[in-house]
Structure 1
Amino acid sequence: MKLVSIRLITDDIQRLAGFYEHVTGIEASWATPDFAEIGTSAGALAIGSSRTVALFAAGSVRPADNHTAIIEFLVADVDAEYRRLRDVVEDFVTEPTTLPWGNRSLLFRDPDGNLVNLFTPVTPRAVAKFAV
């Protein structure tokens, strides 16, 4: 089994796709006006319009109502990303902080309130875990 994407459902797909294009520096690939993907080497962040929910099962998801998941991106320098994103992100949860497991992390919310974590491994053990 291979995880290929995480999908966010939103009422404003243009806004959310544009936000993640800015955060990642990756241009979204649009399949339809209701579905875009930010492709990375590990998989895609898919962004679907709330109009796509009926294709799965009406009422199965609620846009902008995530309170359990964190979308995480490995970055080269989390402190530099924080400086770059300060004028774009409206809701920082934490400034860059080194966590007990060895990652320096920055936590913020996207325009729909989903939690996003940018992190850089900084201890030898964490660096080794994410070495390519």
Structure 2
Amino acid sequence: MMAEFLVIFGVTCVVLCLLALAMYFGRPPVYRISRLEALALLNDLMAGRLTELKWLVFIGHAIPSDPELDEIRSQCNQIELAAEQGQKVAFSISAKRYDEAGQIQLRYVVLKLEKLIGEAPTYREF
């Protein structure tokens, strides 16, 4: 009886230690999205093809790997907050998420993102 307890206790300690090591040395999840993927996401949103979950993930997670893209994300988040608070933008009853005022603001953000993509240097491997 005591031997079984010690075996179970030992196995539990080993499992917990391995879990602690994995959490200590593992890296936290990071949301990584490219500029082209973000552009496709915004175009899908404007066309009414994007799911609410994908949109909320995009605007809700910072993008530390690309500060310019994070600024675009932040502007999109401001549009969402304005719609939630009923300030100049409203949610649409159609498949599109925002009313015409929101669509205009999104077009401005898309143009800004397209400009960023156009200005990005190209890399070639030889």
The structure with the largest alpha-carbon Rg is 2
Give the TM-score normalised by structure 2: 0.25
TM-score by length of 1: 0.24
Q: Which has the higher strand share?
A: 1
Q: Which has the higher helix share?
A: 2
